[in-house]
Structure 1
Amino acid sequence: MAGWCEEAVALLQRPAAAEMAVDVLLCAVPIWAAVMIGLVVGWSWRPRWTGLLFLGLRTRLRIIWLPPGLGARRLWFACTALSACSVAPRLLSSAFRRCRGKQQDKASPEDTAAVARDGGGCADGRTNFEGEHDTVTEKDLELLLQLLDNKESGDTAWQNLMERTTSNMTYKAWRREPEEGPIMYCSRTIFEDATPELVRDFFWDGDFRLKWDPMLAYSKSLDEFPQNGATIVHWIKKFPFFCSDREYIFGGRIWESGKTYYCVTKVCLYSVLFR
């Protein structure tokens, strides 16, 4: 044993061995630093259900690493409650957003009457807030037609993004960066074996869209205005686990010109939803 220790000490005293140890250390530190950064980022972007899974695993393993007794059980329950508090608010807030539309349908007649007195009631009992029935106007249609004319006239500001073709469908997308304002996107889809009425109903039906759009978690028609055919719709879109769901409230209106339909949607404010 003594001879082995002397040989090990002599090996470490050699300059080559010391240089090799320094090289290994310099190579290992960046690798472990990258591993630690990856663990921190991965833990911060973990799915919400992993917290509940961790609680279940701790429940099964607590008999092994936690001694029995009244004090130990109290400590375990306290740790479990603290861990659940970090997960429960996220799940409850997501469920609340999905059920908020259903809760509005159960509002009492007294609340509905009070809102009608404050905002101005319609003859059919609906609340008509000023400007909401004019969410999508003729000016929006003129803007859409102007954008289409600029696109068809060969405006060089539009950059080609994507082009896909199948046996019965053609899709093409463009983007544009104006000097002022956000980036603009434009897409064109041509169906070879579909009528204009079928395409209009397919994209305009929110209930049916829930069945084929995997990103749409909730859709409800909030209000309709027969005088001009406009509607106000509430959507909740799902995003990857590291992003929260997003809500959209927009007004929609359709103009018909022969066999051509112009379907215009526009983000709007709806006062009843935020009472």
Structure 2
Amino acid sequence: MSQVRIAGAAAHFGRDLEWCLARIGKLVGDARHAGAALLVLPDAALGGYLADLRHPDPDALPPALDPDDPVFAKVAALAGEMVVCVGYCEADGDGGRYNAAACLHGDGVLGRHRKVHLPAGETAAYRAGDAFTAFDTPVGRLGMLIDYDKTFPESARSLALGGAQILACLSAWPASITNQAPRMSQDRQSRLFDLYDCARAAENQVVVVSSNQTGAMGGMRFLGQAKVVGPAGNILARTWAKAGLAVAELDVAAEIARARRVLSHLDERRPDAY
């Protein structure tokens, strides 16, 4: 048995990179104090998210970072012995941008992901990625999803088939823009956010660590609702709508083995019938 503590963060991030780094340093420190070996930060933690999802202002986009930007070495240094996943806007070298995430450790970058599924507004600001890749980390084999990626079961399933034991879901997920509810608990996007986290964990029998932004940017209110979900789809820890850390301790491999002991979803698929 090998118990590990993992944490998902709910926090607000804006355009100022130095301010974002300070906020990341505080969250890493809090996670380390809680004994966490893995911390999943929100999407766009380096530079903030779009201020308007329906009509993004091309002159007010997040700062586009090269993959070798010195800021990643700074985050890796903050991470030290921990594994930290962080979202950012990636420059692709020819004027394009991707909504991206990096997984870092004191030794450097362990893995990267470019968001594959873009909602309508994002297509005006970002290009779409084209792959889901699992990779090894000190806390186990891991894969990353960004925001809308987790709406599509194939995204998480691709990572699970690649051996991912933990899915890091980084989000800047707002409350419903078109059907606003008087209370966050009644919000359609709030319900979907939780539903997708639990469904992706249960259907693949893996651990999901879900982060999200809080606060507001432009006309959007972000949901928070960071959580850790077990391979049975059970929420082990959560932040609700407030900023903070959802921290859970578990033996990832043992919990996955227990969930798959009788019914192993990946093994019992029938791809020829789909």
TM range (shorter): under 0.3
TM-score (norm 1): 0.20
Q: Which has the higher helix share?
A: 1
* Greater Rg by CA: 1
Relative CO higher for 1 or 2, CA cutoff 8 Å, sep ≥ 6? 2
TM, length-normalised to structure 2: 0.21
